[in-house]
């Protein structure tokens, strides 16, 4: 009876919400470019940081590359390298805007330490954002990962930080739009 009296207009907001949720949880297949030395983007989004830092997880000097995902990006996270998960850490935290640098230190986060077959150590960190309230990670220590393999998901706006060896040849610039698996972020020596 309500539908008849209000017409089809009452359902428009529900259809818009349904379409938004469907587009957010999409996870399209991707082709894997490059070779085993290529470091692929672990997420869709925009590069917000490229800087030499101290890797807080492995306590070493590293090159940090951060990818910020807004609510319109695909939020499936994929392995940037071929390797084996050596360790996994989870830290509860705040939910500040993931576009800000302090999100890497204060927000909820899940870190994977991955060792490549060539012996390079990579730290891949999922960071929850302002709206995100749930980080999903499907792998544990000992799990093998192939470049482009899905390993996790972050719901609604977030970022992924990569801590790479300092001698990585960076192939992107701040502000570049990247796609998970499809974009090469750098090349390992």
| C-alpha 139, offset from chain centre | 14
CA distance 90 to 77: 16
CA distance 74 to 77: 9
Question: In sequence order, what are the beta bridge partners of 109?
Answer: 91, 127
Q: Is 158 a catalytic residue?
A: yes
Q: Which one of the listed residues 11, 38, 158, 182 is annotated catalytic? A: 158
Apex CA 58: angle with CA 57 and CA 64, to 5°? 75
Looking at the annotation, which residues are catalytic?
A: 158
């Amino acid at each position: 009876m309500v539908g008849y009296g209000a017409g089809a207009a009452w359902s428009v907001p529900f259809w818009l919400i349904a379409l938004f949720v469907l587009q957010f949880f999409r996870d399209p297949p991707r082709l894997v470019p490059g070779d085993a030395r290529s470091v692929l983007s672990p997420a869709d989004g925009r590069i917000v940081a490229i800087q030499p830092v101290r890797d807080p997880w492995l306590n070493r000097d590293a090159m940090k590359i951060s990818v910020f995902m807004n609510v319109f990006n695909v939020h499936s996270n994929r392995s940037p390298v071929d390797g084996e998960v050596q360790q996994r850490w989870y830290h509860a935290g705040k939910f500040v805007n993931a576009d800000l640098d302090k999100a890497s230190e204060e927000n909820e986060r899940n870190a994977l330490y991955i060792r490549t077959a060539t012996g390079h150590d990579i730290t891949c960190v999922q960071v929850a954002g302002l709206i995100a309230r749930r980080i999903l990670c499907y792998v544990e220590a000992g799990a093998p990962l192939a470049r482009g393999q899905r390993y996790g998901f972050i719901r609604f706006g977030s970022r992924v930080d990569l801590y790479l060896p300092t001698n990585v040849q960076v192939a992107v610039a701040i502000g570049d739009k990247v796609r998970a698996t499809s974009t090469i972020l750098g090349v390992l020596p």
